[in-house]
Structure 1
Amino acid sequence: MHEAVSTAPGRHAVVIGGGIGGLATAAGLHRLGWRVTVLERATRPREAGAGISLLTNAQRALDRLGFGAQVRARSVSMAPGGEGLRAPSGRRLQHPADPRFLSRHGLSLIVLLRPDLHGLLRAALPPGALRTGADAVGVEDLPDGAVVRYGSAHGEERVRGDVVIAADGLNSRFRHLLWPSAARPVYSGHSVWRGIAGGGVGAIAEPGGGTWGRGLEFGRMPLPGHRVYWFAVANTPEGARFPDGHAEVRRRFGSWHRPIPELIAATPPGDVLHHEVFELAEPLPGYVSGRVALLGDAAHAMTSDLGQGACQALEDAVVLCAALATEPAVPAALARYERERRPRTQGIAAASRRMGRTKMTERCWDLACRSVMMRLRSPRAAEEGMLYLGDWRPPRLPGPVPA
């Protein structure tokens, strides 16, 4: 049961975008007593998608927002990195994380279906708060608020809010409106296929892990119901299309070590998704303009190489909610949000880009250097990287955490 805490009587937040970051922010502000309106361009809620993994930092953000227990109930928990890292032959490249280190810092990874997370966040909104088929096209900043213009089945409409949160994704229209000279997202050089292997494969009980090849990567994680979420990454030309994604994954990865071929075979061919990976390679000069704040991919779109895109959006959500709940005025709250979020998110985006270059290299010299580096790298270095990402502490929100 999610009940609003009356800390902001009469205040109204307009959220542009019904993805994970936008829904989490709207649900958090609703809990704090704000009236919320979510404008989602799509005409239907998002039901498609494969799996999603959430490191401890994102789990703590969900705990603060009141969703942690519900999300965990639909998830499988695993050690970050699973059984470690291997070469396509199965040769070990990196050992699993030390269980004592993980336990000492409370670090874990949970994996669930992306539509399940979307559904939980949508269900936390009050009736009528989510407006689908609402294409936000512009915003007018006022001294005491902002007005968002959006197109709907009824023509152009307007909605006024005390704050506007633009969580409209990688190709954010509002990022371009507010910072027209800022660099656009760029192609990372690689694309990813995602799928879910069904039950009935003996190897599906394995603990997950990763495999790096020459310009190729395959990762696997357990899901509830004896299923496995997997992703396969390859360097591909921008705009390349693959009519049969399942066949393409089998061609590139079907000869790799077990259980990779079994997982591919246990995946319905029509359910394999393919997406190119884009990022904001040049950091934005700001996340806030007037009463408008960018959030999630709109602010800091990053590659998937550290698995932190959704995690950072959830961090954004709880930090923004806390700032709006505790600062005396919206401009001060937005200034605090930007001050707290820009350094961390832009640092993680840069780290994710570096990791992608290391993982996806194809040059023989780089591959040899990578192999030597991984053999010589101390466990402490890997642990420090894991702590940097996962051991983040969210701010507290006023009032009791919803049950």
Structure 2
Amino acid sequence: MPGTAVVIGGGIGGLGAAIGLQRKGWRVTVLERAAEFRPVGAGLVLQANGLRCLDALGLGATVRERGRRDVSAGTRTSAGRWLAHIGAGELERLLGTPAIGIHRAVLHDILLGALPAETVLTGATVESVTADGAVTWHGPDGPGRAQADLVVAADGIHSTARTALFSAVPEPRRIGVTAWRGVTPVWAGDLDVAVSWAPGAEFGMVPLTDGRVYWYGAVNSDQSAGDVRSHFSAWHDPIPALIASTETVLTDELACLDTPLTSYVRGRVALLGDAAHAMTPHLGQGANQALEDAVVLAALADQPQGLREYDRQRRPRSQRVAQASRTVGRFGQQLRNPAAVAARNALMRLTPPRFALRSMARFAGWQPPSLD
């Protein structure tokens, strides 16, 4: 029977797990370190697998209304020459579900609004987690403690729970890439969802439903990061203008869990999302995989040996996706050798779009369990 659950972390994966568990009858408390939720962050693309998870959580229709359905997409050189191009709706025709571009803050607001206000405790810094479900924290009202039947560690790449319970796991590894992210004001004109490449560099753009554009840029860190404008000022239109119009730009040194965990579970504690399998962004699957974790955990957690089954189902798939994303990065944005870049670009121009679609479908075609 469902009991009490503590979810550590109020991000996309943690809130998704909390919603799913409540739908299954669990009494849930979410502990979020931030004192308040602010509309920060950038955009993301919800692929078919992530949208299906939101359908299972009862939120798919709302997300579709507030996100932008996929438009034509593809890959270009920094001069603007197309290497590959997929027409609008092609992926939806293949998978039956569109991809959705959405601001991360909008998605977070939808998830947060699906939970009773008293479920989420902000300003709660978790201090200890044990395998038997004991969690201590310090919050606005002082120290707190809970003895839970289930603890969901959704506290990100630098997870407190993972550090406490999986001490043999190496720390997250920087991959040698500096990345910038931003969202423009309302943008005039239509844009493709596009990624552009130069040796050791990448720029991507995703139109959002409210007329803004989410963009990101990335360069190998040995290129002296500096200001984002210095790296992309000579790239094709509208890249320089997108950057120039953006007031707030976030900067990160990309990292991932390069050493796969041998389990996502210790006793009553289950790792979820970046805490379990922090991956590079090159496949755009990070948030989608966290939502997969959330729905599978909610579906299984009240069953005998449910956490063991969660680990059996989620660890192989999420680690395959993480490894594939790492490989895509090495042969995409991180590739620098001129001969290798020329060979890759030629191969992409010669590859029929249907093969690229099938490759994407390997990851986006996943179907979640029902929570009804």
Same fold, TM exceeding 0.5? yes
The aligned runs of 1:224-263 (5 Å cut-off) are 224-237=209-222, 242=226, 248-263=227-242
Does residue 388 (structure 1) correspond to residue 362 (structure 2)? The answer is yes
Partner of residue 344 from structure 1, selected from 310, 317, 341: 317
Deviation at 1:91, TM superposition (A): 1.3
Equivalent residue number for residue 311 of structure 1: 288
Deviations 1:29-72 (A, max 9, x none): 11222110011111112421111211010000000011111111
SS of aligned partner of 2:19: helix
Equivalent residue number for residue 258 of structure 2: 281
Matches of 1:83 and 1:380, distance apart in 2 = 13
SS of aligned partner of 1:84: strand
Q: Quick one: structure 1 residues 344 and 148, their matched pair in 2 at CA, closer, same or farther if it must change by over 3 Å?
A: same
Equivalent residue number for residue 358 of structure 1: 331
Does residue 71 (structure 1) correspond to residue 58 (structure 2)? The answer is no
Equivalent residue number for residue 117 of structure 1: 107
Does structure 2 conserve the Cα–Cα contact (< 8 Å) formed by 1:107 and 1:390? Answer: no
Matches of 1:374 and 1:259, distance apart in 2 = 23
SS of aligned partner of 1:393: coil
The aligned runs of 1:3-402 (5 Å cut-off) are 8=2, 11-79=3-71, 82-96=72-86, 99-100=89-90, 102-142=92-132, 146-202=133-189, 205-237=190-222, 242=226, 248-268=227-247, 271-325=248-302, 327=303, 329=304, 332-359=305-332, 360-398=334-372
Matches of 1:51 and 1:284, distance apart in 2 = 28
**Greater mean alpha carbon deviation, residues 184-193 or residues 363-372:** 363-372
Q: Which runs of 5+ in 2 are unaligned?
A: none
Does structure 2 conserve the Cα–Cα contact (< 8 Å) formed by 1:197 and 1:266? Answer: yes
SS of aligned partner of 1:95: strand
**Greater mean alpha carbon deviation, residues 21-30 or residues 192-201:** 192-201
SS of aligned partner of 1:368: helix
Matches of 1:383 and 1:288, distance apart in 2 = 34
Deviation at 1:104, TM superposition (A): 3.4
Q: Quick one: structure 1 residues 100 and 181, their matched pair in 2 at CA, closer, same or farther if it must change by over 3 Å?
A: closer
Q: Which runs of 5+ in 1 are unaligned?
A: 1-6, 243-247, 399-403
Deviation at 1:324, TM superposition (A): 2.1
| Identity value in percent | 45
SS of aligned partner of 1:48: coil
Equivalent residue number for residue 4 of structure 1: none
Deviation at 1:101, TM superposition (A): 5.8
Q: Quick one: structure 1 residues 102 and 152, their matched pair in 2 at CA, closer, same or farther if it must change by over 3 Å?
A: closer
Q: Quick one: structure 1 residues 356 and 137, their matched pair in 2 at CA, closer, same or farther if it must change by over 3 Å?
A: same
SS of aligned partner of 1:355: helix
TM-score for the superposition, normalised by structure 1 = 0.87
Matches of 1:386 and 1:88, distance apart in 2 = 23
TM-score for the superposition, normalised by structure 2 = 0.94
Deviations 1:210-239 (A, max 9, x none): 11111111111111222111111111159x
Q: How many residues align?
A: 371
Q: CA RMSD in A?
A: 1.9
**Greater mean alpha carbon deviation, residues 224-233 or residues 301-310:** 224-233
